[in-house]
Amino acid sequence: MIHVFTGPTLAPSESVFSSPHLRVLPPARHGDLDDPEIEPGHIVVLIDGAYHQAPALRHKEILAAIECGVRVIGAASIGALRAAELHGHGMTGSGRVYRAYRRGVLSGDDEVAVGQAPDGDLSAQTWPLVNVRHVLRAAERERVLNPRTAALLLQVLADVPYQQRTEPAVRAVSRRIAGAEFLLWLRGRRLHDPHWGDVKRADALGALILARELLPAVPRVDLGVPVSTGYTRAWANARAARKVDGRILPTAARLAYQQIFDREFPRVWEQWLMHLPVEGDGLPLARRLADLLDDGPPPAPAPAAYLVVRPVPDLHDPDTVAVLLDRETAADREAVARYAAANLTARDRIPGFSPEAIGDDVARTTLMRLWRTDPAAAEDAAAARGFRNIADAVGHMKTFLAGLLAEADVSGRTAC
């Protein structure tokens, strides 16, 4: 299967996407490569991606996909830039824009960025600078423009923010600097080929041809660079979900519920940590701590594992999930679903509501009451339950507060 992230460069309605082996997706955003439908042996063609309107796709996400056996091809737009940056780490580049980035002729993402309509229309509303360069070079070769005029026109258009480089703006600037002859020449070219001068589109089409030639993708490879980190695991965990009790529930929400509400969870977390291999020597943490204590001044009590390491668990790993959710009950899962629904209800009833808008002090106070601890011990209490810190715990607590408060109103008693 070939998964293509595109939008303004190559419209999803193009006939080239009629093949059953092609899956067309909107411009790539942060987290999109964690899609469970993108499997080892598949190919991703990265053409368009989010720039300023949404969190962008990270380099580590691309590397993680490559390490899992997904071939990632970049071309035309942000894909060309990322391929140039990661060509030494397994990403495949294609097309003239990619080669220009590799050679250093192009550098910034403003070369390929385009403005889009705020209503969700994916089509480009402006000229990308890389297409301007291509058209001006053609005009020089055909002696429609002399080098000095072409350079001046490029400089002026490059100074226009990409969101404002519309067709009328390009024509107005061209008429003022280059005269009507250049515009007549350009119009004649476009009459014969509406896409003439669109180097990004040509590169995107070439990348699709390359993807078909390379299918199936290469097997899983070792890139020789560290890919899996706490950050990448956290990104992937946000997309982890499983069907249980007849419905899909986010695994991260199920774990957070146990971390917050199960009084015995610190013991579960400690046991998981003690059997976790320590990076470097591969020994379980329990063995590593014992060795350290043997080398130190005896007798010394073993420190709690959560004081030594604070890893981010891999919630796509079934063994990890089984251990951390060992004490979960059907009632717990029902509560997770119920509290998620309470957030949606609160959004409908309260304009502008979101769990993130709940005050930190409210969530922190609720945690202290649930854990029966005082604020001075908040950091240790959070770490003992697998949170990075108390701020991390507060953030997760907010996702359950609307449901807790709703239940308190119904029962006529306090939530804690």
Q: Mean pLDDT across the stretch 39-57?
A: 84
* 17 or 220, higher pLDDT: 17
pLDDT at 79: 92
The 10s digit of each residue's pLDDT in 90-142 is 889 999 999 999 888 888 788 888 876 666 667 777 888 889 888 899 888 98
pLDDT at 415: 43
* 315 or 309, higher pLDDT: 315
Lowest mean pLDDT among 30-39, 214-223, 264-273, 349-358: 214-223
Does 306 have pLDDT greater than 80? Answer: no
pLDDT at 281: 46
C-alpha to C-alpha distance for 282 and 262, rounded to whole angstroms:
30
Highest mean pLDDT among 249-258, 273-282, 400-409: 249-258
pLDDT at 286: 57
* 214 or 255, higher pLDDT: 255
Q: Which of these, 19, 20, 32, 6, lies nearest to 203 by C-alpha position?
A: 6
| For residue 266, cis peptide bond before it (omega within 30 degrees of 0) | no
Are the beta carbons of 367 and 385 closer than 8 angstroms? no
C-alpha to C-alpha distance for 346 and 355, rounded to whole angstroms:
9
| Structure-token pair, residue 11 | 């419209």
pLDDT at 118: 63
Q: Mean pLDDT across the stretch 388-410?
A: 84
Lowest mean pLDDT among 91-95, 191-195, 234-238, 388-392: 234-238
The shares of helix, strand and coil residues in the chain, as percent rounded to the nearest 5, are: 55, 10, 40
Buried b (16+ CB within 10 A) or exposed e, 71-84: bbbbbbbbbbbbbb
The 10s digit of each residue's pLDDT in 338-368 is 998 888 888 878 777 788 888 899 999 999 9
Mean residue pLDDT across the chain: 83
Q: Residue 25: phi, psi to the nearest 5?
A: -125, 155
- Max Cα separation, the chain? 90
